[in-house]
Amino acid sequence: MIIGIVVHPVDTEKHPTVPVGFRWACHIGEDWPDMSLCLNAGWAPTQSEAAIAGEAAGVCALKVARFLTPGVECTMPTTVLNTDPTEAEADTVTIEEG
């Protein structure tokens, strides 16, 4: 089982309620646009902070997966994308600065 972590810059044209920065998401697998596979997601001002937060969430998900599926190999790769894979209408989160 793959618990995938993705980090990407925010596309503020597609997601005008999200400030400039980076999004992270923890998914089952690596089909990034499929929000039904997203376990947790968030925003950070820098790519490094987004990667750290995403990997922290991923470790928790990975431990749960290993606990629930004994004997099944679980991995957690991190992917950094240059573009935002999320469709505009799929992102329902508003982030307020301040």
Residue 95 belongs to some domain of the structure: no
Q: Kindly state whether residue 34 falls inside one of the protein's structural domains.
A: yes
User: What is the chain's pLDDT, residue by residue, as a tens digit (98 residues)?
Assistant: 889 999 999 988 888 888 899 999 999 888 888 888 888 899 999 999 999 999 999 999 999 988 998 888 888 888 898 888 877 766 655 555 55
Distance CA 59, CA 94 (A): 25
Do the domain assignments include residue 96? no
Domain that holds residue 12: 3-90
How many domains does the chain fold into? 1
As a whole number of angstroms, the distance between CA 19 and CA 16 comes to 7
Domain membership flag for residue 84: yes
Report yes or no on 15 lying in a domain: yes
Instruction: Please identify which residue in the block is written with the tokens 């937060």.
Output: 53
